[in-house]
Structure 1
Amino acid sequence: MRSSRLLSILLLLQTRRQLTARELAEELEVSLRTIYRDVEALAAAGVPVYADQGRAGGYRLVEGYRTRLTGLTEQESAALFLVGMPAAAAALGLTAETSAAELKLLAALAPDQRDRAGRLKNRFHLDLPAWYQDAEDSPHLSAIADAVLHDRRVNVLYRRWEAPREVERTLEPHGLVLKNGSWYVVAATPGGMRTYRVSSILELTPTDEIFERTKDFELQRFWQEHLVGFDQVRFTAEATIRVSAALAGQMYDVSYPVLTKAVAETAADADGSVVVTIPIESVPNAAASLSRFGRSLEVLGPPELRQALADLGRKLTELYDGHA
């Protein structure tokens, strides 16, 4: 029991950096006297633990000290986040480290726990890319990942959607996000925090320059705020649409999230059709997206979208009429 408690104190100090005797006692549910004795035992065993005095004081480990009780290397520890995601691990260049970390984890488990872990691995699989598309080719991903882990600046040649198409940028990469098979790097630039598609990086030159990470940056929070902001910029107008009863009954087969959601949340008319209002990116984009539904869907407004669909239909008729 005491050896387990000593190990707990060591790992708590290693992960939280500083704790008072009272905080340790409350965490481990023992008396202050027990904590004092245990810390003395750790020091006697050669663990470099010391106490800072004063109101802001507490027990600390000597800076840089790390226990190797887990047997995991630094890269293997990082790879633990990718166990069960072999495609992502391979893309980041951590296949070997992930396999080694997984083996060490399995070795540390009891036999029944290893059996359960094996069942989970063989019965659940994560396939990230969406249907009808492959994962993007991102040859510079491993270099970006290395820069993220070590806080190093990188110089890139980036291809964007607007002119000038190819631009040079110096990035301070703070994190990587994988969404639907596409990797994005979140990086600090002179203009603020920006998001870049890794597959659009044409050239990358690593540097030895260390940057200071933006204070209080949280990748998950930033990404959620980015998605909200992206939708606000992406959707510039609205369209009112009548969905036929036949199409409304087949929305589970339709790959059009905003339309599917709107139909599901709207009561049908007496004839089974559903009138909904949905956000659209632009009139040309909406016309191209909605034209595939043919007569199963009618745009009621805005007038310019109705006109765009009429023009598209007329051009298709001119192209194919008499060539059937």
Structure 2
Amino acid sequence: MKLERLISIIYKLLNNDVLPANALAEEFQVSQRTIYRDIDVICAAGFPVVSYQGNKGGFGMMEGFKMDKSLLGSYDVNALVTVLKGLSTVFEDERAQGTIERLQTVGTEQRTPSLAVDFETRRTDPETLPLLRAAITERKVIRFGYINAKNERTTRELEPVRLHFKYGSWYIYGYCLTRCDYREFRLSRMVEALRTERSFEPHQEVPEEAGPFVGDQSLVEDVVVKVGAEALADAMDQFGYVLKTFHSDGSMTMRIPVYKPAEATWLWSILLGFGSGAEVLEPLELRAVMKEQLRKTLNLYE
């Protein structure tokens, strides 16, 4: 414990001009006398600690003293710090904050960061991520309600393995005790997640998450959509990597390969979200489905 405190104090001194002894004592939950002894030990180890007197006094490292940047080789320290800051904000992780302080001592001085990372959590209860992270660390079973792709609500129990941020959303992967197999769940569809007091032992082999389901390639069709000028930005956000043709009137035509498009409810909701800014041209079967969906929507407002 003392060694960890000494290391933390060293990195804090490297990252701050002056740190008062009482502030250090409060942070590490020790007496100021203990902090003075720690400073003596740090000085004896060869670190040039300077003592500043007065109301704003305290301790700091001698100006110009820095740790060897070769400790991280060719890593982009500033990029690592940026990513860790995003994670520490989401999870309120004090250990990540400690790592950030250590990395900052060997990072290059950069007034304007070249990278910014925002792990968006608007679709997720802010208390859910820290709860799941703690359950993974402590190996505790979690219980939650879940709305699947068929809009069915079930109750699941999971031995959590890891959290993933992908496709702009958070997912949790683990062994589902309800289905007796490994499953992945999207956090935005979870309801009333809680960590139980039941512990579990990790399985010897944990399979990787399955990739995106493609299915029989013969059932993949190109959905041709004409997008008006007023919906270009939304369409580009939703379908960034599909074939696009831009027209002189400001509109655009997209060809989107989709598995069984007439049954792809996820696609319907996206296209309906464009309102009058998008029209399905092909296949005709999907065009008929969109008409029916619009009729049902209109009936709600009769």
TM range (shorter): 0.5 to 0.7
Q: Tell me, in whole angstroms, the C-alpha distance in 1 between the residues paired with 2:186 and 2:300.
A: 37
Aligned to 1:243: 226
Deviation at 1:267, TM superposition (A): 10
Aligned to 2:145: 158
Q: Which amino acid aligns with 1:183?
A: W
Q: What aligned pairs does 1:276-315 form with structure 2 within 5 A after superposition?
A: 276=255, 278-279=257-258, 280=261, 282=263, 286-291=267-272, 292=274, 294=276, 297-303=279-285, 305-311=286-292
Cα deviation, 1:35-83, whole Å, max 9, x if unaligned, reads xxxxxxxxxxxxxxxxxxxxxxxxxxxxxxxxxxxxxxxxxxxxx9776
Q: Tell me, in whole angstroms, the C-alpha distance in 2 between the residues paired with 1:311 and 1:101.
A: 55
Aligned to 1:84: 83
Q: What aligned pairs does 1:120-131 form with structure 2 within 5 A after superposition?
A: 122-129=113-120
- For these two proteins, the number of residue pairs brought into alignment is 213
Deviation at 1:137, TM superposition (A): 1.6
Instruction: Please state whether the residue corresponding to 1:98 is helix, strand or coil.
Output: helix
Instruction: Please state whether the residue corresponding to 1:186 is helix, strand or coil.
Output: strand
Aligned to 2:183: 194
Deviation at 1:177, TM superposition (A): 0.7
Q: 1:316 to 1:164 in 2, by over 3 A?
A: closer
Q: Which amino acid aligns with 1:185?
A: I
Q: 1:261 to 1:313 in 2, by over 3 A?
A: same
Deviation at 1:242, TM superposition (A): 5.6
Q: 1:81 to 1:167 in 2, by over 3 A?
A: farther
Instruction: Please state whether the residue corresponding to 1:84 is helix, strand or coil.
Output: helix
Query: In the alignment, is the contact (CA less than 8 A) between 2:88 and 2:97 conserved in 1?
Result: no
Q: Which amino acid aligns with 1:241?
A: V
Q: 1:213 to 1:89 in 2, by over 3 A?
A: farther
Q: Which amino acid aligns with 2:128?
A: H
Deviation at 1:309, TM superposition (A): 3.3
Cα deviation, 1:131-178, whole Å, max 9, x if unaligned, reads xx935224232232123234x131313222357624141x22211112
Q: 1:99 to 1:253 in 2, by over 3 A?
A: same
Query: In the alignment, is the contact (CA less than 8 A) between 1:184 and 1:197 conserved in 2?
Result: yes
Q: Percent identity, aligned pairs only? A: 15
Instruction: Please state whether the residue corresponding to 1:86 is helix, strand or coil.
Output: helix
Query: In the alignment, is the contact (CA less than 8 A) between 2:82 and 2:115 conserved in 1?
Result: no
Largest Rg, 1 or 2? 1
Task: Determine whether 1:228 maps to 2:203.
Answer: no
CA RMSD in angstroms, aligned pairs only = 4.3
Stretches of structure 1 that go unaligned for 5 or more consecutive residues are 1-79
Task: Determine whether 1:262 maps to 2:263.
Answer: no
Q: Which amino acid aligns with 2:224?
A: I
TM-score by length of 1: 0.50
Q: 1:204 to 1:281 in 2, by over 3 A?
A: farther
Deviation at 1:117, TM superposition (A): 4.8
Which has more helix, going by share of residues? 1
TM-score by length of 2: 0.53
Query: In the alignment, is the contact (CA less than 8 A) between 1:153 and 1:208 conserved in 2?
Result: yes
